[in-house]
Amino acid sequence: MTVSDYIADYLYKLGVTDVFGIPGGVILDLIYAFDRKDGIKAHLSYHEQCGGFAACGYAQSTGKLGVAYSTRGPGFTNMITPIAEAYFDSLPTLFITSHSEKCPEKGMRTMFDQEIDTCDIVKNITKYCVRIDSSESFALLFTQLCSIALEERKGPVFIDISSKLFKEDIDVNEVCLSNGNIFIPSQIANELAWKISQAKRPVILVGDGVNQANLSLEFRKFIQKAMIPVISSRFSHDVICGSNYYYGYVGSHGIRTANFILSKTDLIIAIGNRLNFPIDSQSYSSVFTHAKLIRYEIDKGELKREIPNSENHLCDIIPLLKSLAVINLDYGSHEDWVEVCNILRDELMNEDTNYAVCAISKILSIITKDTIVVNDVGNNEFWVSRACVLFGIQNRVLYSKSFGALGSALGKAIGAYYANHHPILCFIGDQGFQMNIQELQFISQNQLPIIIVLLNNRVSGMIRDREKLNYDKFIHTTFESGFRNPEYKKIMEGYGIPYVDYNSLSDNQIEIMISSLLHPIFLDIQIDENIVLGPSLPKGNVCQDFHPSLSTEKYNYLNNL
């Protein structure tokens, strides 16, 4: 078996069905190996960046290994942004490139055209990266590399293979993947239950680590047993959205209910959440002074984030949550506390809606439960998050979280479709859309059932809002200052994708169009450019005191509950 055939065969055994990239001279032998392998298909992206984003979407929506490839030089450098995306968001991904000559010597700018020291560039945004120039090294490292991507805190790995190796025969003994779990003694679950029972106002702060470990069902079962309030980070509302015990996400643009609950709790249990709070700020310092924090974290590096009054457990949440889902423990009674949280939710959940949130909610209410929602970066993602929480949407929702890669949504939507073969609902803003517009060709020629929803306010909204707050004029964010949109209807005609003006449709027409989706559709939602992102937490305010402000009477009533 050749090295290229071995790569295709081993990835297939790991469950990889689709890989993404663009052909190049040094990588052709690998692409032909994918073509020979039944059960795995190589897809032609129209930019290496979106090939990488497709691998991210494939991994993010399933937890399986996402794979992207590129040729050397500029093909490789085009993949750097999705590599960083996978690293920041802990997505199990394999990025492959190839070389045919040596790297430049130190101190020499170039030695051979397109050859570059790839590993030196990506070593700080990968779990492991390696350049391979011999079949012996390949035999030793390739299966380990795939294991590293999938184990413990997941993330990207990178391999740069000499092109001459692809045709070499190799005899590799297969290496079985371990699941990477750290053993959790049963007493940890019992200790957690006891601490919850002793608290007066406990809350679970859940993060996307639960989704990454495919533990949403186990988490829901645990909460049904514990019967205590749950709040989340914004990117993990889909872990438990729709549950009576879920009250929204916290943050500077969070759900008011969740921030009020955070301000009142005496015990915070963080599961799959890295607690990326400005702990020392006036907004949050009092929370972590008055509440005990229990953290369950798989990455010891995250525990370097020192938080007052915290108890840290370095462990894998997989066995912990699986135990909590099935074991009957005494969590005590917290009915009074849950009632306080219910009052907060009833009083506050409809405080911060706008036209965009209502339009998004209407679409979300129609989609099937297996439809995956993909978001780009910008105000659009905040509106989608709010709509999901307000209306209890339980669909899986993908974000570019920590890295915030504008323009990532179309590529991720493609990868998520091939990983699941369910319809995709892709929300994107008018600036992010133009960053990777070429992938409409991929979506069109393959007739993927993707609804592309453009939240079209004709401005660079998030940055415009910041300019308005801090400067005396706009630059590159409004029509007058240089930001322009093309004629989207004509663009869709060129790509052969139906263009639909949302504002001209009746509710019945929207429902019929979305419920019978068999091919791509572009849905243009015109939004008033003056709608700003809200609510927001002004610097220096306590975490529950958002702008626009509640009436003094209402704020004092809720604050004193």
| Tens digit of each residue's pLDDT (9 = 90 or more) over 426-473 | 999 999 999 999 999 999 999 999 999 999 999 998 899 889 888 989
* Per-residue confidence (pLDDT) for residue 171, from 0 to 100: 74
* Per-residue confidence (pLDDT) for residue 206, from 0 to 100: 97
Helix H or strand E encompassing 467:
helix 461-470
Sign, Cα dihedral of 85, 86, 87, 90: positive
Kindly indicate the confidence band of residue 371, based on its pLDDT and cuts at 50, 70 and 90.
Answer: very high
Q: Which residue has the tokens 């993990």?
A: 236
How confident is the model over 144-150, as a mean pLDDT?
Answer: 95
* Per-residue confidence (pLDDT) for residue 108, from 0 to 100: 67
pLDDT at 177 over 70: no
* Per-residue confidence (pLDDT) for residue 304, from 0 to 100: 85
How confident is the model over 91-112, as a mean pLDDT?
Answer: 82
How confident is the model over 173-198, as a mean pLDDT?
Answer: 65
Bridge partner residues of 44 (DSSP): 21
pTM above 0.85, yes or no: yes
Least Cα distance to 232 among 224, 425, 243 occurs for 243
* Per-residue confidence (pLDDT) for residue 418, from 0 to 100: 98
pLDDT tens sequence across 377-397: 999 999 999 999 999 999 999
Least Cα distance to 236 among 254, 263, 209 occurs for 209
Whole-number percent of the chain with pLDDT over 70:
96
| Cα separation, 325 vs 337, whole angstroms | 22
486 upstream amide cis, omega within 30 of 0: no
* Per-residue confidence (pLDDT) for residue 123, from 0 to 100: 96
Q: Where are the alpha helices (DSSP H) in 97-185?
A: 118-122, 135-150
Kindly indicate the confidence band of residue 561, based on its pLDDT and cuts at 50, 70 and 90.
Answer: very high
Q: Which residue has the tokens 């949440």?
A: 317
Across the chain, mean pLDDT equals 92
Least Cα distance to 208 among 326, 344, 88 occurs for 88
The answer to whether the CB of 3 falls within 8 A of the CB of 138 is yes
pLDDT tens sequence across 152-176: 999 999 999 999 999 999 875 533 3
The DSSP secondary structure of 76-108, one letter per residue, reads HHTTHHHHHHHHHTT--EEEEEEESSPPPPTT-
- Which stretch of 65-69, 302-306, 355-359 has the lowest confidence by average pLDDT? 302-306
* Per-residue confidence (pLDDT) for residue 173, from 0 to 100: 55
* Per-residue confidence (pLDDT) for residue 71, from 0 to 100: 96
